[in-house]
Structure 1
């Protein structure tokens, strides 16, 4: 079972909070809020997305890389490559 499925409700709750934050940015822009308020909302949303990514990466590492008993070497190597690709894309 994939860790994203196992943690589905927790991850969906985070995504829903992030959606609310993005909607708050939209409302602020629509309401012509000050730059400082908009920047704070964007920074909070960015932090929330980074936190979500960190949680998924941590679960990925723990599930697919650190669990030596349940993961054959070929599966581990594939998981490592997937993680490296995601991190490279995320850090661009």
Structure 2
């Protein structure tokens, strides 16, 4: 069973919190809150998204690279992670 399935409820809870944070940004903009407040909300979202991304990446690394069933699966999973990292750091 894939880690995203096994940990699905925990991951979905984090996504739902992110949605709530995005809604808070929308409410702040509609209410014309000061830019400092909006920036703080955005920084919180970025931190939460980075945390979620890191958690999924770490689980991917452990399940599909470290504990791969074959060298071919290990190589494919490592390349998949490398491609994601290239996109992530842009």
Structure 1 stretches of 4+ with a deviation exceeding 6 A read none
C-alpha RMSD over aligned residues: 0.7
TM-score, normalised on structure 1?
Answer: 0.95
Counterpart residue number, 1:76? 74
How far has the Cα of 1:66 moved from its partner?
1.2
How far has the Cα of 1:71 moved from its partner?
1.8
User: C-alpha distance in 2, partners of 1:14/1:71?
Assistant: 30
Q: Secondary structure at the match of 2:32?
A: coil
Counterpart residue number, 1:22? 22
Q: Which runs of 5+ in 1 are unaligned?
A: none
How far has the Cα of 1:51 moved from its partner?
0.3
Count of equivalent residues = 90
Counterpart residue number, 2:50? 50
How far has the Cα of 1:58 moved from its partner?
0.4
Q: Which runs of 5+ in 2 are unaligned?
A: none
